[in-house]
C-alpha cells in the first residue's frame, strides 16, 4: 500500500489508499464517517441488516492504527450512525476499540449523526479540531483553506475503456481535503454532485481508492458525467 | 360426451360456432372436480375453455361472492380477458359479475372488492399476493371454486411462478375445494408444469389435456441481397427485404431479440418507408401509454407492421396478423413457436414465418430451429426449485394475514410444486431470517419482527412490519431506470441509468423511434429535446439477450459436423464451412475443437463449445483463471452463443489442462468469491427477501445507490457469516440459472479425452465471428485496478494507451453507431475503440 502526498496549507499530508489521512509531522491519523452500528440502527427500524458492520470496520481500522502508531487519532464525525450508537456497541468491539486507542489520544469530532460524545470510550469530544494551520471538522465549510472534512462520502467514477469504475475517493485542491467514508455500510455521493463540486470551484483532483494505491483524476471533466447520485442512501432512508 | 347446456348452446349456435372438444373436456373435468392442465396452441379458444365450467356453474346456480380467480402474467391480458368475457355474459343475460384487480385498480374499487368480491376476479400474481397478505383473506377466498392460471408456461420456473405456487398452496388451505386449471402453450416438460400446478406437487394429480396444433408452421429463410455478414446480431443488412415483405402482406409482426435492435430495425424500416406504411414499434422500455396506443392501433387494424421484442410474445390476440418475421436467430425452439403462433390464429391454417438471420452462425441456427419444429421437438429448461427469497417474502405475508404455526406452514409450502423438495432446515432458516435476520450473532433479539406465543404461533410484531412488506411485495426487481421526458411532451419511456451516465448534454440517442438530444438530468428523469446532430447512440439494456438453448446448440453442432446436413444451408454458408474444413477442421459432434493462432502480437484460443453466451462467460472466467495460474498471461475473452475466444500474451500449450473438470473446483471458488454476477444475484435476493428496500420510482434513493449498498452488505455478510441463508440462496440460484454451471460441467465431462487442438498460422473462418463480437470481458483478478491505473495514466498523458487492445479486432461488418465517454471521444475517429464503451457495463458489473 503506498500513500500519496498532498500539500495543504504548507503541510505534507499522506492519503492512504485504505481511506485514512496521515499527517507525518504531527503523527496524526484522521478517519471520517465510520458509522459504527449502522446495522443495528436499521434493525431498529425493521431492516435486519447484518450486525457485523462494526466488527468489519474495526477489522480494517485496527491494522492502520498499528501501522501508523499515531500520537493522535481524529475521528472526523459520524463515527456512530446515531446518537445511541455508542451505547449499542457490543462489549467485545468496545474493548477492542478502547484497547487500540490506549496508546494515543482520541479526538471525537461531533457529526450530524452523533452530536454527543461517545459514551464510555477514551478521548475528548469536540465540535472541530484545530492543529497548526489545519482545521478538522465534520461538515465542510463553504469557503475554507487548510480544512480536512468528511460528511459527504465522496466517490467518483473513472471512465476506462471497459466502462466506468466507481470507488470512494479523497478530493483535494490543495486548499482542503474531503475524506472518503470509512465505515463498512457507508454509501457514496458522486463528486460531480453540486454539494461536492461547489466546494472545489477551481477544480481539484479525485484520488480513487485502489487495493494498492490511489488513482488520481482531475475533478473537472475527470470522466463521464455522473450528475445524479443523491444522498448516501442507507444514511437517509 | 356431454352437450353444452343452455343458454350457452344457443349462444354458440347463434354465432355459427361449435364448442371445441377441449372446451367440453374441461367441462367434464370440472364436473369430476379434477385439476387440469390444458396445453394448446394460441387461437384454440383456450381461455374460454378455462372459464366455461365457471360460467356454466354460475349460470345454473347464481351466488354472491368469489367463485373463480383468474391469474395472468400480464395486467393487459387480464383487462382484455375481462372485456372478452363480459360480452357473452351480457349477451346471455347471465347474473355473473366480472372485475379485474391489478396495480392500476383505484383504491375505492379495491376496498369494495374486499367487501363484496365479484364472481370472477381477474388479476396478476402480485395482486393476489397482496390480497392474501390481508387479514380478511380467509373470508374473501373461503368460497372459491376455481383457479384459472393463464400462460402458465410463462410463470412456472420463474420467481413469479414460485410466488404464485405458494399463493395457490395458501388458497388450497383457505378453500380446499377449489379446482385448478392451467392454460399453457405447448411445452417441452409437461410433467414439470403439471407438478407446478398440482395442489399436492405431484404431476399425477393434474389431468393433462393436449390439443395438437392443426397445420405445422411454414418457415422461409430470408438472406440479405448482398454480402452475408460474418458477425453482428442486428440484421440491418436485410432491412430492404423485410420492408418488401411488409409491403406484400396485410399485417406483419417483426420480432427482434433486443430493444436496441428494435430501435435500429424500426429506424431502418422508416428510412425505406417511401409508401409511408403505418409501421409502429413496441418494446418494454416505451412508456406504457405509448405501448397501449400501439396495441390499440394494432387491434383496430390501423397498422401494417409492428417491430416488437418479447413484450409481444404473450398477450392479446390479434386475428389479422398474417406474417411473422423473426430478425436475428430465434435462440430457442419453443420461443420461435410462440412467436410464430402470433400470426394467423386459426388452427386449421399454417402459420407463416420468415426467419432473417443476421450472420452466418445464425443461418445455421435458423435452419436448426426450423428442423426442430418440423420434427416436433421443443426445448426449454425444466423448472428449477423455488427460491428461498420468494419463500421469505411469503412467510412474512402469511404472518401479516394471520398468526401461523411453522409445522402447518411447512406442510402447506411443500405442497407447492417448486418447494416439494424444500428441507426443513432451509424452511426453518427462512423463518428465522424473517423473524430476526437469522444471524449467528444474536444481536437483534429486541428488533425481531415475529414473536411466538405459548401455543407456538408466530405473530407479526407491529403494523410497521406489514407496511414494509406491502411496499416490498413482488418478485420483479427492476434495473435502475430513468424516465425519458421530452420537453413539453411528457414521458416517452425509460432507459437504464448507466446509459445516461455515458451521455453529455448535446449528445443524441435513438429512442422510441426518434432521435433525441440529451439536455440534462432532473431527479429521476432525463430531459431531452427532439433532433440533434451527429450519429445517435442506441440505449442497450442489461440481460436483454437470450442465450441459445442447450437443445438448439446440440442441433447446430450436429449440422456443422455433418456435411450431409448442409443441404438446407445457403451457398455462402456452405462455402464458409468448406473453407473451415480446409484451413482447420469442423467442430466434432461430441468432442471439442480448440484452435490456437497468433494474431497482432498475441495468441488467440478459440474453443467451439456451443453452450450459449451465459455458460461461455462463466467458462471464460474459469479458463482464464487457470491460464493465469499456468503463466499464459490471459488478457481478455469473449463468449458468443457458439464459441469462447480468449487472447493471451503467451502461446497456450497443453490446452487439455484448461478444459478439465477440476476448473470447477478451485477456480470456481475463487471466481465466485469476487463475481459481480453473484453480487447482482444477491441484490435481487436481498430485495425480494426484504433485507433491503425495493427502489420505488421517484424515491430519493437511486438504483445505483442500492447496488452499491447491497454490495457492501454482501461483502460484510460473506466475510462474517458465509453460510447465511441469503448467501446460500444466492449461490444456489447462481449455480442453477445464471451461470449455467451445469452446462459447463456436462460439457467438460463430455469432451474429456476428446479435445482436438489445432495450432494454426492464422484465424480460421469459423473463428472470425467471435473476434468481431461485442461484449468482451476482462480477465478478473485486479482487472478493475488495472483498468483504473491505465485510465489514470491515460488521462495524465493524453495518449492512446488503450490502442493495443483495439488492434485485436478484425473488421467490423455491421456497425452500431456508438460514441463513448470523454476518453473515447478524444479518439472518436476510432469507432472500434468506442465499441467497448457500449459493452462497458458488462465489464463493470461482470455481466
> Between the CA of residue B477 and those of A42, A160, B384, what are the distances in Å?
21, 28, 19
**How much is the pLDDT for B842?**
27
The reply to whether B792 touches chain A by the CB within 8 Å rule is: yes
Question: Hey, where are the domains in chain B?
Answer: 8-210, 218-374, 481-530, 584-781, 782-847
Picking from A53, A160, A164, the nearest residue to B716 by CB comes out as A53
The reply to whether B799 touches chain A by the CB within 8 Å rule is: no
First to last CA, chain A: 34
| CA distance to partner chain B, nearest, from residue A224 (Å) | 6
| CA distance to partner chain A, nearest, from residue B297 (Å) | 37
Picking from A160, A162, A233, the nearest residue to B709 by CB comes out as A233
Contacts of A186 in chain B (CB under 8 A): 712
Q: Cβ of B713 and A55 within 8 Å?
A: no
What distance in Å separates the CA atoms of residue B650 and residue B459, rounded to the nearest whole number?
A: 63
Q: Which three cell numbers stand for residue A141?
A: 465549510
Residues 6+ apart with CB under 8 A from B149: B70, B71, B155, B164, B168, B180, B181, B182, B183, B197
CA-nearest residue to A214 within chain B is: B789
Q: Assess whether the region B8-210 and the region B218-374 belong to the same CATH fold.
A: yes
Picking from B465, B713, B791, the nearest residue to A159 by CB comes out as B791
What distance in Å separates the CA atoms of residue B389 and residue B710, rounded to the nearest whole number?
A: 15
Contacts of B824 in chain A (CB under 8 A): 159, 161
Q: Cβ of B501 and A224 within 8 Å?
A: yes
Q: Cβ of A160 and B464 within 8 Å?
A: no
Picking from B444, B787, B795, the nearest residue to A217 by CB comes out as B795
Contacts of A48 in chain B (CB under 8 A): 433, 436-437, 439, 444, 447, 449, 691
**How much is the pLDDT for B446?**
84
Picking from B468, B702, B821, the nearest residue to A224 by CB comes out as B821
Kindly indicate whether the domain formed by B8-210 is annotated with CATH number 3.40.30.10: no
The reply to whether B471 touches chain A by the CB within 8 Å rule is: no
Q: Is B403 exposed, middle or buried (0-12, 13-18, 19+ CB in 10 A)?
A: middle
Q: Cβ of A228 and B844 within 8 Å?
A: no
Contact present, B704 and A173 (Cβ < 8 Å): no
The yes/no answer to whether this complex scores an ipTM above 0.90 is: no
Q: Where are the beta strands (DSSP E) in B487-581?
A: 490-496, 508-511, 514-522, 525-530
What confidence tens digit (pLDDT) does each residue in A170-227 have?
999 989 999 999 999 888 888 888 889 899 988 889 999 988 889 988 875 434 333 3
Task: List average pLDDT for each run of 10 residues in chain B, which is 847 residues long.
Answer: 83 88 92 93 78 94 95 85 89 94 87 92 94 93 96 90 97 96 88 95 94 78 84 85 93 90 91 92 85 84 89 70 89 84 69 88 91 82 86 96 96 96 96 93 86 94 86 77 83 79 78 85 81 76 67 87 90 91 90 91 90 82 86 83 88 92 76 68 90 62 49 90 93 68 84 93 88 59 63 54 27 27 33 30 26
**How much is the pLDDT for A237?**
25
Other CB atoms within a 10 A radius of the CB of residue B827 amount to: 16
Render the burial of B626-645: b for 16+ CB within 10 Å, e for the rest. bbbebebbbbbbbbbbbbbb
Q: What are phi and psi of B180, to 5 degrees?
A: -115, 135
Contact present, B127 and B74 (Cβ < 8 Å): no
**How much is the pLDDT for B441?**
84
Q: Cβ of A236 and B795 within 8 Å?
A: no
Q: Cβ of A49 and B691 within 8 Å?
A: yes
**How much is the pLDDT for B318?**
66
Contacts of A46 in chain B (CB under 8 A): 447, 449, 464-465, 468
Contact present, B408 and B399 (Cβ < 8 Å): no
Q: pTM for this structure? A: 0.81
CA-nearest residue to A221 within chain B is: B822
What distance in Å separates the CA atoms of residue B293 and residue B59, rounded to the nearest whole number?
A: 35
**How much is the pLDDT for B747?**
87
Contact present, B60 and B5 (Cβ < 8 Å): yes
Q: Which of B835, B798, B841, B807 is nearest to B820 (CA)?
A: B835
CA atoms within 13 A on the CB side of B511: 33
Q: Cβ of A44 and B443 within 8 Å?
A: no
What distance in Å separates the CA atoms of residue A82 and residue A112, rounded to the nearest whole number?
A: 9
| Best residue of B783, B795, B847 to probe chain A, by most A CBs closer than 10 Å | B795
| CA distance to partner chain A, nearest, from residue B719 (Å) | 8
Picking from B447, B784, B839, the nearest residue to A43 by CB comes out as B447
Contacts of A162 in chain B (CB under 8 A): 776, 778, 787, 836, 839-840, 843-844
What distance in Å separates the CA atoms of residue B198 and residue B406, rounded to the nearest whole number?
A: 22
Q: Cβ of B501 and A226 within 8 Å?
A: yes
- Helix (H/G/I), strand (E/B), else coil: B366: helix
The reply to whether A84 touches chain B by the CB within 8 Å rule is: no
Residue A233: its H or E element: helix A233-236
Class of domain B218-374: alpha beta
| CA distance to partner chain B, nearest, from residue A189 (Å) | 9
Contacts of B500 in chain A (CB under 8 A): 228
Given the C-alpha cell 411466538, which residue does it identify? Answer: B452
DSSP class of residue B201 equals S
Q: Cβ of B844 and A222 within 8 Å?
A: no
Q: Which three cell numbers stand for residue B660?
A: 478439465
Q: Where are the alpha helices (DSSP H) in B473-549?
A: 497-501
User: Would strands A105-109 and A124-126 be described as parallel, antiparallel, or unpaired?
Assistant: parallel
121-180 in chain A: CB under 8 A from chain B: 157-167
Picking from B500, B716, B791, the nearest residue to A184 by CB comes out as B716
The reply to whether B720 touches chain A by the CB within 8 Å rule is: yes
Q: What share of chain A is helix, strand, coil (3-state, %, to 5)?
A: 20, 30, 50
DSSP class of residue B359 equals S
Average of pLDDT values for A130-134? 95
Q: Which of B386, B384, B390, B429 is nearest to B406 (CA)?
A: B429
CA atoms within 13 A on the CB side of B8: 21
Q: Helix B388-401 crosses helix B424-436 at what angle (to 10 degrees)?
A: 60
The reply to whether B501 touches chain A by the CB within 8 Å rule is: yes
CA-nearest residue to A217 within chain B is: B792
| CA distance to partner chain B, nearest, from residue A103 (Å) | 28
Contacts of B501 in chain A (CB under 8 A): 157, 164, 224-226, 228
Q: How many residues does chain B have?
A: 847
Q: What are phi and psi of B508, to 5 degrees?
A: -120, 155
DSSP class of residue B286 equals B
Other CB atoms within a 10 A radius of the CB of residue A102 amount to: 9
Contacts of B843 in chain A (CB under 8 A): 162-163
Contacts of A192 in chain B (CB under 8 A): none
| CA distance to partner chain A, nearest, from residue B368 (Å) | 35
Helices (H) and strands (E) in chain B, counts: 33, 26
Q: Helix A53-68 crosses helix B703-720 at what angle (to 10 degrees)?
A: 80
Q: Which three cell numbers stand for residue B179?
A: 379446482
Q: Which three cell numbers stand for residue B493?
A: 419511456
Q: Cβ of B701 and A165 within 8 Å?
A: no
| CA distance to partner chain B, nearest, from residue A127 (Å) | 29
- Helix (H/G/I), strand (E/B), else coil: A227: coil
What distance in Å separates the CA atoms of residue B758 and residue B762, rounded to the nearest whole number?
A: 11
First to last CA, chain B: 56
What distance in Å separates the CA atoms of residue B332 and residue B355, rounded to the nearest whole number?
A: 13
CA-nearest residue to A219 within chain B is: B795
Q: Which three cell numbers stand for residue A18?
A: 485504505
Residues 6+ apart with CB under 8 A from B376: none
Given the C-alpha cell 414521458, which residue does it identify? Answer: B491
| Domains in chain A: ranges and CATH | 4-236 (3.60.21)
Contacts of A209 in chain B (CB under 8 A): none
Q: Which three cell numbers stand for residue B674?
A: 469476487
| CA distance to partner chain A, nearest, from residue B143 (Å) | 35
Residues 6+ apart with CB under 8 A from B139: none
Contacts of B720 in chain A (CB under 8 A): 50, 52, 55-56
| CA distance to partner chain A, nearest, from residue B702 (Å) | 7
| CA distance to partner chain A, nearest, from residue B508 (Å) | 15
Contact present, A73 and A65 (Cβ < 8 Å): yes
Render the burial of B54-72: b for 16+ CB within 10 Å, e for the rest. bbbbbbeeeeebbbbbbbb
**How much is the pLDDT for B168?**
98
The reply to whether A220 touches chain B by the CB within 8 Å rule is: no
Contacts of A216 in chain B (CB under 8 A): 792
| Omega before B151 within 30 of 0, i.e. cis | no
**How much is the pLDDT for B742?**
74
- Helix (H/G/I), strand (E/B), else coil: B779: coil
Contact present, B328 and B233 (Cβ < 8 Å): yes
| CA distance to partner chain A, nearest, from residue B728 (Å) | 15
Amino acid at each position: 500500500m503506498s500513500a500519496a502526498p498532498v500539500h495543504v496549507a504548507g503541510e505534507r499530508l499522506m492519503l492512504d489508499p485504505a481511506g485514512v489521512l496521515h499527517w507525518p509531522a504531527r503523527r496524526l491519523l484522521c478517519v471520517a464517517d465510520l458509522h459504527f452500528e449502522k446495522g443495528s440502527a436499521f434493525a431498529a427500524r425493521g431492516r435486519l441488516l447484518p450486525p457485523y458492520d462494526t466488527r468489519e470496520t474495526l477489522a480494517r481500522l485496527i491494522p492502520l492504527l498499528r501501522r501508523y502508531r499515531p500520537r493522535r487519532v481524529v475521528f472526523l464525525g459520524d463515527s456512530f450512525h446515531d446518537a445511541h450508537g455508542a451505547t449499542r456497541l457490543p462489549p467485545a468491539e468496545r474493548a477492542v476499540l478502547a484497547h487500540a486507542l490506549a496508546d494515543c489520544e482520541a479526538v471525537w469530532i461531533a457529526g450530524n449523526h452523533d452530536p454527543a460524545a461517545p459514551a464510555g470510550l477514551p478521548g475528548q469530544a469536540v465540535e472541530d479540531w484545530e492543529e497548526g494551520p489545519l482545521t478538522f471538522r465534520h461538515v465542510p465549510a463553504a469557503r475554507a483553506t487548510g480544512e480536512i472534512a468528511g460528511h459527504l462520502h465522496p466517490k467518483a467514477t473513472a471512465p476506462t475503456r471497459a466502462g466506468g469504475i466507481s470507488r470512494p475517493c479523497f478530493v483535494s485542491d490543495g486548499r482542503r481535503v474531503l475524506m472518503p467514508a470509512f465505515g463498512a455500510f457507508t454509501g457514496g455521493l458522486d463528486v460531480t454532485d453540486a454539494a461536492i463540486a461547489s466546494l472545489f470551484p477551481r477544480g481539484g483532483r479525485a484520488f480513487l481508492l485502489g487495493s494498492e494505491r490511489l488513482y488520481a483524476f482531475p475533478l473537472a471533466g475527470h470522466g463521464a458525467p455522473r450528475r445524479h447520485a443523491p444522498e448516501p442512501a442507507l444514511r437517509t432512508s | 360426451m356431454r352437450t353444452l347446456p343452455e343458454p350457452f348452446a344457443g349462444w354458440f349456435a347463434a354465432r355459427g360456432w361449435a364448442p371445441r372438444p377441449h372446451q367440453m373436456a374441461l367441462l367434464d373435468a370440472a364436473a369430476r372436480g379434477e385439476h387440469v392442465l390444458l396445453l394448446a396452441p394460441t387461437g384454440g379458444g383456450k381461455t374460454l375453455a378455462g372459464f366455461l365450467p365457471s360460467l356454466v356453474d354460475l349460470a345454473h346456480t347464481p351466488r354472491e361472492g368469489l367463485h373463480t380467480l383468474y391469474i395472468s402474467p400480464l395486467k393487459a391480458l387480464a383487462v382484455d380477458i375481462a372485456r372478452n368475457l363480459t360480452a357473452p355474459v351480457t349477451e346471455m343475460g347471465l347474473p355473473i359479475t366480472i372485475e379485474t384487480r391489478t396495480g392500476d385498480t383505484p383504491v375505492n374499487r379495491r376496498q369494495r372488492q374486499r367487501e363484496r368480491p365479484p364472481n370472477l376476479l381477474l388479476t396478476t400474481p402480485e395482486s393476489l399476493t397482496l390480497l392474501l397478505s390481508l387479514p380478511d383473506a380467509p373470508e374473501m377466498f373461503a368460497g372459491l371454486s376455481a383457479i384459472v392460471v393463464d400462460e402458465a408456461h410463462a410463470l412456472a420456473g420463474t420467481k413469479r411462478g414460485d410466488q404464485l405456487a405458494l399463493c395457490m398452496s395458501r388458497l388450497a388451505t383457505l378453500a380446499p375445494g377449489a379446482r385448478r386449471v392451467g392454460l399453457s402453450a405447448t411445452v417441452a416438460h409437461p410433467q414439470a408444469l403439471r407438478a407446478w400446478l398440482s395442489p399436492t406437487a405431484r404431476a399425477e394429480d393434474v389431468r393433462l389435456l393436449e390439443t395438437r396444433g392443426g397445420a405445422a408452421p411454414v418457415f422461409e429463410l430470408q438472406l440479405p441481397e448482398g454480402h452475408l455478414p460474418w458477425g453482428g446480431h442486428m440484421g440491418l443488412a436485410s432491412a430492404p427485404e423485410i420492408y418488401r415483405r411488409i409491403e406484400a402482406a396485410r399485417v406483419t409482426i417483426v420480432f427482434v431479440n433486443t430493444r436496441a435492435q428494435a430501435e435500429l430495425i424500426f429506424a431502418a424500416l422508416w428510412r425505406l418507408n417511401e409508401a409511408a406504411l403505418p409501421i409502429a414499434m413496441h418494446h418494454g422500455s416505451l412508456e406504457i401509454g405509448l405501448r397501449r396506443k400501439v396495441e390499440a392501433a394494432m387491434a383496430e387494424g390501423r397498422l401494417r407492421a409492428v417491430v416488437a421484442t418479447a413484450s409481444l410474445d404473450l398477450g392479446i390476440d390479434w386475428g389479422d396478423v398474417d406474417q411473422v418475421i423473426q430478425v436475428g436467430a430465434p435462440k430457442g425452439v419453443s420461443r420461435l413457436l410462440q412467436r410464430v403462433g402470433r400470426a394467423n390464429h386459426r388452427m386449421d391454417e399454417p402459420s407463416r414465418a420468415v426467419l432473417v438471420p443476421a450472420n452466418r452462425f445464425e443461418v445455421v441456427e435458423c435452419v436448426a430451429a426450423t428442423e426442430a419444429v418440423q420434427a416436433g421437438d421443443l426445448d426449454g429448461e425444466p423448472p428449477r426449485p423455488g427460491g428461498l427469497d420468494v419463500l421469505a417474502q411469503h412467510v412474512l405475508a402469511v404472518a401479516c394475514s394471520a398468526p401461523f404455526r411453522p409445522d402447518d406452514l411447512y406442510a402447506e409450502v411443500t405442497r407447492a410444486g417448486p418447494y416439494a423438495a424444500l428441507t426443513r432446515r432451509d424452511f426453518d432458516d427462512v423463518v428465522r431470517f424473517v423473524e430476526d435476520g437469522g444471524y449467528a450473532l444474536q444481536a437483534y433479539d429486541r428488533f425481531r419482527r415475529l414473536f411466538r406465543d405459548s401455543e407456538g404461533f408466530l405473530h407479526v410484531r407491529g403494523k410497521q412490519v406489514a407496511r414494509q412488506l406491502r411496499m416490498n411485495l413482488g418478485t420483479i426487481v427492476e434495473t435502475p431506470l430513468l424516465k425519458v421526458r421530452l420537453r413539453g411532451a411528457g414521458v416517452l419511456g425509460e432507459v437504464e441509468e448507466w446509459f445516461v451516465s455515458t451521455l453529455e448534454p448535446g449528445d443524441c440517442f435513438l429512442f422510441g423511434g426518434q432521435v433525441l438530444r440529451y439536455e440534462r438530468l432532473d431527479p429521476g428523469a432525463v430531459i431531452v429535446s427532439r433532433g440533434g446532430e451527429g450519429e445517435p447512440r442506441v440505449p442497450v439494456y442489461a440481460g436483454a439477450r437470450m442465450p441459445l438453448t442447450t437443445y438448439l446448440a446440440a442441433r447446430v453442432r450436429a449440422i456443422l459436423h455433418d456435411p450431409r446436413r448442409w443441404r438446407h444451408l445457403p451457398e455462402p454458408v456452405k462455402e464458409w464451412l468448406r473453407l473451415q474444413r480446409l484451413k482447420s477442421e469442423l467442430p466434432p459432434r461430441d468432442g471439442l475443437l480448440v484452435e490456437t493462432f497468433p494474431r497482432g502480437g498475441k495468441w488467440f484460443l478459440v474453443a467451439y463449445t456451443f453452450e450459449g453466451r451465459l455458460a461461455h462467460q462463466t467458462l471464460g472466467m474459469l479458463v482464464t483463471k487457470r491460464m493465469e495460474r499456468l503463466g499464459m498471461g490471459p488478457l481478455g475473452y469473449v463468449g458468443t452463443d457458439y464459441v469462447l475466444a480468449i487472447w493471451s500474451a503467451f502461446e497456450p500449450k497443453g490446452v487439455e489442462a484448461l478444459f478439465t473438470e477440476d476448473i470447477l473446483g478451485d477456480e470456481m471458488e475463487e471466481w465466485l468469491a469476487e463475481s459481480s454476477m453473484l453480487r447482482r444475484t444477491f441484490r435481487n435476493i436481498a430485495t425480494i427477501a426484504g433485507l433491503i428496500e425495493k427502489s420505488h420510482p421517484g424515491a430519493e434513493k437511486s438504483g445505483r445507490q442500492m447496488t452499491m449498498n447491497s454490495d457492501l452488505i454482501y461483502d460484510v455478510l460473506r466475510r462474517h457469516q458465509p453460510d447465511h441463508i441469503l448467501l446460500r440462496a444466492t449461490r444456489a440460484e447462481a449455480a442453477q440459472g445464471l451461470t449455467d454451471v451445469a452446462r459447463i460441467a456436462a460439457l467438460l465431462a463430455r469432451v474429456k479425452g476428446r479435445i482436438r487442438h489445432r495450432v494454426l498460422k492464422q484465424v480460421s473462418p469459423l473463428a472470425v465471428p467471435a473476434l468481431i463480437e461485442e461484449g468482451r470481458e476482462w480477465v478478473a483478478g485486479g482487472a478493475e485496478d488495472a483498468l483504473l491505473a491505465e485510465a489514470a495514466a491515460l488521462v495524465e498523458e493524453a495518449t492512446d494507451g488503450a490502442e493495443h487492445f483495439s488492434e485485436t479486432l478484425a473488421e467490423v461488418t455491421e456497425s452500431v453507431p456508438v460514441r463513448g465517454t470523454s476518453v473515447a471521444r478524444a479518439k472518436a475517429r476510432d469507432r472500434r475503440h468506442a465499441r467497448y464503451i457500449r459493452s462497458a457495463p458488462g465489464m463493470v458489473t461482470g455481466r
